[in-house]
């Protein structure tokens, strides 16, 4: 669009100069192009690409159902599908209206979490219950792409999910987790993964069912309390979900053997 404006401006300037009606400098042309670019960006605020952004900005929060297809680094492990629910809140928007940052909670919803862990994942539980995990989120509008590009990531782990928001109800996403040498969980060596995902924007009423609370309780105050609680738990607890699985027992046995060997060397 900018190229078209530039070409049209150039043709008009050339014609007017030949006719002797006016004289236009390169600086004037640059200023005109800058103004056109600014107005184009302003116009896009009501474009379809801003549909989800405007909704999130108006509500001050957002809820998504997510669907993931993961493949872990564990050799021979099959692909694993699972679902979750995202709650974004505590959002801060840029003054020029083209981006935001915030905090969030991610809740695992699938019934196959044991399968997920047995194939390599590391999940967290407190007293046998999978807890919502704290996340952070950021997104910015990219004019050249005509969409919002963003990412959300766990604050207690090193996985990242990128997304591309064109303003449609379903947003495409991809994610990954690299090898973390500092991860002390039992599945640390197999928790690296690649993922393709999608996020579907849902209503407060639908989200209330997943978080098992009344819709009127899904407020900023409730979120802040839940986020702080989740952050404190993830900061101090890292316990695999599928204790008792074959993978868990093998890792546990290997750890015990390794400790025995090290102890033997220390005694000698």
Pair (78, 40) in one structural domain:
no
Evaluate whether residue 211 is within a structural domain: yes
Res 3 pLDDT > 80: no
Domain carrying residue 72: 50-254
Instruction: Give yes or no: residues 114 and 238 share one domain.
Output: yes
Least confident of 96-100, 110-114, 173-177, 264-268: 264-268
Give the closest residue to 34 by CA, choosing from 56, 61, 6, 10. Answer: 6
Distance CA 78, CA 80 (A): 6
Q: How many domains is the chain built from? A: 2
pLDDT digits (tens, 9 = 90+) for 83-135: 999 999 999 999 999 999 999 999 988 666 777 767 666 665 544 455 788 99
Q: Are residues 248 and 157 in the same domain?
A: yes
Q: Are 220 and 102 in contact (CB under 8 A)?
A: no
- Asked if residue 67 and residue 170 are part of one domain, the reply reads yes
Looking at the structure, do residues 10 and 92 belong to the same domain, yes or no?
Answer: no
Query: Do 40 and 55 belong together in one domain?
Result: no
On whether both 37 and 74 belong to a single domain, the answer is: no
Of the candidates 46, 61, 82, which is a domain's last residue? 46
Say if residue 120 is in the same domain as residue 60.
Answer: yes
Give yes or no: residues 6 and 109 share one domain.
no
Better pLDDT: 147 or 73: 147
My answer on whether 33 and 65 are in the same domain is no
Give the separation between CA 50 and CA 141, rounded to whole angstroms: 9
Using 50, 70 and 90 to split pLDDT, how confident is the model at 158? confident
Flag whether pLDDT at 148 surpasses 70: yes
pLDDT at residue 5 above 90? no
Same domain, 83 and 13: no
Beta partners for 64? 86, 201
Does one domain contain both 112 and 238?
Answer: yes
Whether 266 maps to a domain, the answer reads no
Give me the pLDDT at residue 44, please: 44
Whether 165 is in a domain gets the answer yes
Last residue of a domain, one of 10, 25, 46: 46
Smallest CA-to-CA distance from 175 within 241, 257, 80 is with 80
pLDDT score of 78: 84
Structural domain includes residue 260:
no
Average pLDDT of the segment spanning 140-166 = 93
**Average confidence score pLDDT of the chain:** 73
Q: What is the CATH number of the domain that holds 139?
A: 2.40.128
pLDDT in tens, 218-249: 998 899 999 999 888 876 544 443 333 444 44
pLDDT of residue 82 exceeding 60, the answer is yes
pLDDT at 163: 98
pTM over 0.75: no
In a domain, 235, yes or no: yes
In-domain check, residue 265: no
pLDDT in tens, 63-77: 999 999 988 877 788
Give a yes or no: residue 263 inside a domain.
no
């Amino acid at each position: 669009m900018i190229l078209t404006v530039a070409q049209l401006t150039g043709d008009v300037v050339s014609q007017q100069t030949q006719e002797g009606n006016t004289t236009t400098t390169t600086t004037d042309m640059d200023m005109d192009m800058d103004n056109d670019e600014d107005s184009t960006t302003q116009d896009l605020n009501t474009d379809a690409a801003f549909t989800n952004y405007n909704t999130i900005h108006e509500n001050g929060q957002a809820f998504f159902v997510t669907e993931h297809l993961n493949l872990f680094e564990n050799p021979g492990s099959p692909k694993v599908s699972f679902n979750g629910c995202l709650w974004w809140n505590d959002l801060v928007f840029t003054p020029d209206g083209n981006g935001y940052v915030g905090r969030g909670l991610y809740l695992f919803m699938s019934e196959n979490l044991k399968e997920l862990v047995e194939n390599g994942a590391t999940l967290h539980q407190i007293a046998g219950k999978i807890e919502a995990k704290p996340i952070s989120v950021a997104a910015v509008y990219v004019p050249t792409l005509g969409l919002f590009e963003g990412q959300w990531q766990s604050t207690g782990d090193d996985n990242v999910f990128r997304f591309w928001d064109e303003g449609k109800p379903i947003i495409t996403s991809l994610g990954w987790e690299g090898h973390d040498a500092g991860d002390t969980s039992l599945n640390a060596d197999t928790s690296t993964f690649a993922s393709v995902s999608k996020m579907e924007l849902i209503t407060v009423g639908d989200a209330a069912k997943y978080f098992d609370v009344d819709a009127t309780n899904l407020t900023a105050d409730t979120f802040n309390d839940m986020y702080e609680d989740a952050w404190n738990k993830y900061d101090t607890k890292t316990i695999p979900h599928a204790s008792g699985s074959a993978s868990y027992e093998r890792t546990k046995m290997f750890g015990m053997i390794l400790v025995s060997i090290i102890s033997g060397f220390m005694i000698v």
